[in-house]
Every structure is written in C-alpha cells, then in structure tokens.
Structure 1
C-alpha cells in the first residue's frame, strides 16, 4: 500500500529555499567548478547507497542526468548553460543542508525539494540532453559504436526532420485551399 502526500510550497516557502540556494551559490562560487561537480556526484553516490524514499530516487535520476550533461564532451554544452548547471549544483556541494541527511525517511526531503526546483528551472535543458542521448544511442545502433555523434549532428538531424515534416504537411494541405476564387 502506498500513500500520496502532497506538499504545496507557498511563495514564502519558495523564497526561503531560494535564499538557501543563494547562500549555497555564494559559498560555491569560491570553489573550482570541478569541486562543485565532485561534491554533487558525491551526494548522488551517497543517496544511491542510502535507503532513500522513492520520491527522492526519482529526483536523484534527474540530478544525475544534469551532471552527465555537464561532463558529456559530445554534448558540447555552451559556457552559459554550463554555468547555469554549476549554479544549480551549488546547493548540493554544501555539506550542512536544511534537514540532516541521516534522519531516516526525511533526511533527504530538503534535497528532494531543491532537486525539484532545479529540474523545474532546467527542464528544457534536461529534455534536450535526454533527446540527444536517445539520438546518440539510435545512431550508434544504426552506424556502430564509433559513430561520430555530437550536439551539432543532433541539431542538424532535428532541423532535417522538421523541414521534412513541414514539406509533408504542406503537400497534404496543398489540395485544400482556404480561399478559392470563383469566376
């Protein structure tokens, strides 16, 4: 039997979490980017090894995906997106968070909330990276493991598919004119 508990964070609750994030960002700004990533990876590993609730596991996967996107050379992430992800990971490099992680069942609640806020902010980036990974797997299956797949080839394939879809839609609708002249 499972139970669903819904948390509704008010604007003041969200302000509180944003302030925590801002404080973490200030502290993390003094750290080299590699250390911020390493600390976030450390937290992910710690959470994977711990007995964490499913509501945290779901969010942990998204956090891990963000870290993978940051480290994926083939994704060729632009510097501004890289900085945004590093900023998002700042909270997770802070060892003393709101709720101590060693409290069974609840210790990762604040982490889950922060991950949720991060993935809401980064949802388009996560979606794009997930799409890229699917494209890369398909290309590697089709052309072999040494297929040269990067962000540019993924974008080009998307543009090609989009143009093809436009042509198909245009040819379908060419027989149906909205306005026709009657003479």
Structure 2
C-alpha cells in the first residue's frame, strides 16, 4: 500500500521528469536554488529522523520537483503548497488544543517539524516566490506517514466538536467523541455480522429441489 500523504494528490517527487531546466538540471531562471550536497544531506537526515521509511532526498530529485512546480499555472502551484501547509497548521493546532492529548513521541516529532518550517534560512530561502516553500511542503509530504493517523483523528474530532457541540470540559468533550465513535464502530460491526448471517441463511439449499403433488393428467 502507498504511504499516506497530506492531500489526495501526492507530489511527483520520485517520478517527475520535465519542466524548464538549465544544463545542470536547475529550474530555468532560478539560479538561487542551486543546492549544496551537505545541505541536502542534512535535510534528508531530518526527513528520516521523522519518518525512517521516507524516500531519499537528493539534489536531482529536488531540482526536478522545483521544475514541476514552476511548470504549473501560478494559481495551481500556490494551491499545491497551501493545501499541505494547511495540514501543517492542523498539527500546530492539535499541540495547543487542551482537548487533545497526543503522545510525547508524536509531540516531539511535530515540534521538530515545526522548528524547520518556522525557519527562514532553511534549505531553500523562504523569500523566493513559490520555491521558498517547496522544501517545507516536501518535508511535510515525506514525513506525513508519521503524523497521518494523529492528524486524521484530530480532524475528525474537530468536525465532531463543531457539529455535535458536546458539553463539558475539554477532556469530557474528547471522551464524548471517543464514546460516540466506538458506538458507531460497534454498530457497523453488528450490521456487518447481520448481513453475513443473512447471506449464509439465504444460500441455495444443497441437493436437487423436489416438487410434490399430483401429476398432471
């Protein structure tokens, strides 16, 4: 199964080939993105500290990803970046939400991710239009499997809290969410079990069908 990604459209990090590049493979018109090997290696180390099974990051892949981003219409390129940064803001919010109690390990990884995102002097300078956020969203994308379950559960909790408006303290609101979701899961299991039993009892009986009664004249 593919790794979970922050959006429904994964970045073409491992397979994209195209876009306007110069003789060295850098996106045409953006010499500032020329990357040093040690800086990329340090970035790759952070990626795998957050999620050990992530794809490896190297300069050619980064250059091609930048070329892909620049090949998009500006509005679409911004949407690709913004949609991933929004998932990052959800992680930031869950750390500050008193109703959400994530593990210390998850909290530590999120803080490491945030520490990089909040830097301006990271792998690609944030001052560059579009490209300045490329390394940030790539880090979110590649490390996302480490946060996906927590982020999706928190998103569901926020939706529940908004629609159901549970009463009580933040802790009681989360307990209500857990209780209702477990009840829904049990109802789904019961429904599935009933369907299975109905299917089993409704099978065609074994052996030939016998017809009784007087023969026709």
Q: Structure 1: how far apart are the matches of 2:135 and 2:199?
A: 56
Contact conserved, 2:99 with 2:174, CA < 8 A, in 1? yes
Contact conserved, 1:75 with 1:151, CA < 8 A, in 2? yes
Q: Which residue of 2 aligns with 1:90?
A: 115
Matched, 1:79 2:85: no
Q: Which has the higher helix share?
A: 1
TM-score normalized by the length of structure 1: 0.63
Q: Which residue of 1 aligns with 2:149?
A: 124
Q: Which residue of 2 aligns with 1:44?
A: none
Q: Which residue of 2 aligns with 1:176?
A: 199
Q: Which residue of 1 aligns with 2:13?
A: 7
Q: Which residue of 2 aligns with 1:46?
A: none
Matched position secondary structure for 1:111? helix
User: Residue 106 and residue 163 in structure 1: after superposition, are their counterparts in 2 closer, same or farther (change >3 A)?
Assistant: same
Q: Which residue of 2 aligns with 1:160?
A: 183
Q: CA RMSD in A?
A: 3.4
Tell me how far 1:73 sits from its aligned partner. 0.6
Tell me how far 1:169 sits from its aligned partner. 2.0
Q: Structure 2: how far apart are the matches of 1:122 and 1:60?
A: 14
In the alignment of these two chains, the number of paired residues is 145
Q: Structure 1: how far apart are the matches of 2:187 and 2:85?
A: 37
Contact conserved, 1:63 with 1:119, CA < 8 A, in 2? no
Q: Which residue of 2 aligns with 1:113?
A: 138
Contact conserved, 1:59 with 1:116, CA < 8 A, in 2? yes
Matched position secondary structure for 1:108? helix
Q: Structure 2: how far apart are the matches of 1:20 and 1:82?
A: 16
Q: Structure 1: how far apart are the matches of 2:186 and 2:112?
A: 36
- Structure 1: give runs of 5+ residues left out of the alignment: 24-51
Tell me how far 1:128 sits from its aligned partner. 0.8
TM-score normalized by the length of structure 2: 0.55
- Structure 2: give runs of 5+ residues left out of the alignment: 1-10, 17-36, 50-76, 207-217
User: Residue 9 and residue 109 in structure 1: after superposition, are their counterparts in 2 closer, same or farther (change >3 A)?
Assistant: farther
Q: Which residue of 1 aligns with 2:125?
A: 100
Q: Which residue of 1 aligns with 2:45?
A: 19
Q: Structure 2: how far apart are the matches of 1:119 and 1:9?
A: 19
